[in-house]
Amino acid sequence: MPTDPLRCAGALIVDDDSRIFVQRRAPGRRLFPNCWDIAGGHLEPGEEIDDALRREVTEETGWTVSHVLGLVGEYRYTADDGLTRVETDFLVRVDGDLSRPRLEPTEHTEFRWLAERDIALLDEHRDVNDGMIRRILADGFAALRSIGL
């Protein structure tokens, strides 16, 4: 088992109404099935975090990152597989039709744009990593406010 944590990049995709994009993981996923999540994933060997961020957004949504607005935070967690991960998350804007992400049905089954007042939706699986996804979005909305969006 590896001793170094796996590295992940995550995107809090923001629309013109300062809402953040979330997508529900498919029920057949090994990690966090049926949970709401942000776009993102593991860095490939030798890949830089910015490159992974852009690749994951395109792979998971079909959109292209146009602007990185800022860092949201770095989150360390151990998933059900026993592996520790360090995830670095960013606020981003994307190009593409925001009403029609290209979701892979085996990966994600639905999506939503959440306003800050809707964040309680993420309590649905608050037991998963002590509500980590809600914490990440709360930090994302705080970062949006700090940059005036």
**What's the N-to-C CA distance of the chain in angstroms?**
42
Residue 53 lies in a domain: yes
Q: CATH number, domain at 82?
A: 3.90.79.10
pLDDT at 125: 74
Query: What's the gap between Cα 145 and its chain centre?
Result: 19
Stretch among 42-51, 118-127, 134-143 having the lowest mean pLDDT: 118-127
pLDDT at 39: 97
**pLDDT tops 60 at residue 1:** no
pLDDT in tens, 79-119: 888 889 999 999 999 999 999 999 999 999 999 999 999 99
Range of the domain at 58: 6-146
pLDDT at 129: 63
Residue 73 lies in a domain: yes
Q: How far apart are CA 53 and CA 42, in angstroms?
A: 9
- Asked if residues 9 and 87 have their Cβ atoms less than 8 Å apart, the reply is yes
Residue 1 lies in a domain: no
The 3-state DSSP class for residue 93 equals strand
pTM as predicted: 0.93
Residue 119 lies in a domain: yes
Number of domains in the chain: 1
pLDDT in tens, 32-71: 899 999 999 999 999 999 999 999 999 999 999 999 999 9
pLDDT at 88: 98
Residue given tokens 């939706």 in the structure block: 121
Residue 17 lies in a domain: yes
